[in-house]
Structure 1
Amino acid sequence: MTSSQFVSQSSVPAILVLEDGRHFRGTSYGAQGTTFGEAVFTTGMSGYQETLTDPSFHRQVIVATAPHIGNTGWNDEDGESKQIWAAGYVVRDPARVASNWRSRRSLDEELQAQGIVGISHLDTRALTRHLRECGVMRVAISTEVLDPEKLREQVLQQPAMAGASLVDDVTTPEAHVVPAEGEKKYTAVVLDLGIKASTPVRLAARGIEQHVLPATASFEEIDRIKPDGVFFSNGPGDPSTADGPVEVLRQVLQAGYPYFGICFGNQLFGRALGFETYKLKYGHRGANQPVMDRTTGKVEITAQNHGFAVDAPLDRATETDFGTATVSHVCLNDDVVEGLELRRDGRLVGFSVQYHPEAAAGPHDSAYLFDRFVEMLDASKNQQNPEGTH
């Protein structure tokens, strides 16, 4: 297989039908068949491979707002997991040529190989505007049922994302260890709620050995490892359904383990601190979301993928069972909570962000948060061992 190849364009008709009856006709892209999910749009101009393989997109049909998709093909290195998790893919103009020195096959071929039903050559701008106005909703793509009313009947029978518990579908089946890169400095327990492959790489690069546990792990399993800190990953579904991990996190905080959470891990941190979560109208998905770190005043451009958020006050601190909680990061587009901090006796003991600081495919403005985790572990170690003795 060469790194540059022409991509055959399908002429098989396909249809996309939303639960409110709006429909769009186009042509098949990827596998043929019928698929269902929640229609969401992502504004990233690049990184479609990382997006499609992100477990947080489980059971969602992704609408690409960038019009030209597939030009760099598909390689064997950039996946964020071992499979495509998206339920379907919607693009306007598939690339006629896939060309990149690492490309091994076209995006269309990979979608076919993994059985992912997609649709192309439709007005994704109109579809995106509709989702912005009406909110994300259930959807179907089909090459089999081309009657919009009949397909809509099937769409209305599908479960909604609100109330969906999906973490067990994407978590690791068994515990495993990711070694530190170079000298080992710390040990962390990582609760895999749908972790992206780039995250352990960022932690390992900072000398952190990671014991990755399934989402069903108990506090006793975590405590048995005696980690220096605990990390909760990103993941799919409604955080209000994750009562088990929330209770485990409360025990983690009660025991005094330093905590860092990303995305779903931010939402569960919020719940553990006593806040509620809620569903956003159309969410934040893409690589261009502006966020302010309120602790430094710095504005960063972030990669995000979430449809739920934490309901915490922006204008005041909140006293919790574990210390004082504040909103540390906020979205500059809509004031959605993008991060939380927990301090005890003035010392940082836990923090989280709603976005993805590992930012595979970029941007990398937020990589400092992994350093902040290490600094928190340093402070915790010095607090426990002020004289430097063992």
Structure 2
Amino acid sequence: MKNVLAERVKTLTPSTTLAITAKAKALKAEGIDVIGLGAGEPDFNTPRNILDAAIDSMEKGLTKYTPAGGLPVLKQAIIDKLQRDNNLTYAQNEVMVGVGAKHVLYTLFQVLLNEGDEVIIPIPYWVSYPEQVKIAGGVPVYVEATAAQNYKMTPEQLRNAITPKTKAVIINSPSNPTGMIYSKEELTALAAVAVEKDILIVSDEIYEKLVYGGVKHFSIAEVSEEVKARTIVVNGVAKSHSMTGWRIGYGAGDAAIIKAMTDLASHSTSNATTTAQYAAIEAYNGPQDAVEEMRQAFEARLEKVFPQVEAIPGFSVIRPQGAFYLLPDVTEAAQKTGFASVDEFASALLAEANVAVIPGSGFGAPRTIRLSYATSLDLIEEAIRRIDTFVKAKWQD
């Protein structure tokens, strides 16, 4: 068959994170002692009360279709959460529940973008942003937020990137892969540019609950009602409640945009899994103790492993404020150990040291690798020891 695939999928790049994680799991299944530091999900089970709520809903026969945009009771739980945690007020028609935050973002770009519309994406970025923009016919416009500026885009950079074709800018705070968090002052300054230039803001806040060192998460939608009106907040229960596989995310924003997203979802997914929706209701309405316990566990791991990673020869790393990733610049380590690129260095770590890391090229940051500390402390420390041993054994002065 000739030209069987649609042109829009021919330029897509597979998810680097999922590919590396799958490869590590395959090697482990073969009996190879691989430690994976690529996972983008908490290593804790979903809290017991949430599991019980899901089971209870099934036993009551609540297993049928729901409205495409989500159960009204789940929407209300999300509305209450946004008011409680973020001081943001939304109505039912301003919230859409999707099959995970990734699906919400995908649906959002599908309803927002016309062919050639530009979306500003700060580098480093989450791997799916550019691909989702491209498949919707949009054009990713990259702004490099360097290590010297703590991987955060400045208002000047945003302003300079805006053209007559700009439709939106993506803000991801706390960030995957950097773990950096925009302060209230920084977000206020970025929001002022968005208002002045009349562009939309896509605010990905999925790591909101995973913040450390006393740092507070602030949603850019909190800046003002004017900013809220042009912001679509994207969040979900995946990272906060260790529910990655349940696939429940949401978007909150302008009613017309939310209606379009809901209408599109009605022709694609019909609705997010009913049982998972009931689980998410309990996640937001039930006790939040487990959320804090997980946050504290991640912070304790960060305190332990950050200095160990920082001490590896040729590694330069900025201390993150949130999420559960480290993003060291390993260019010197790669060069000194005889590799032409960081990608080759990362491949050798898997093949020779049995440690799976994510090459930063997938995040637009080819000088780096991403290390997840969403696994047991013993495994993380053993992985770091292997990397350290690997680098020192191959180091060439």
TM (normalized to structure 2)? 0.29
Greater relative contact order structure (CA < 8 Å, 6+ sep): 2
Q: Please identify which structure carries the higher helix content.
A: 2
TM (normalized to structure 1)? 0.30
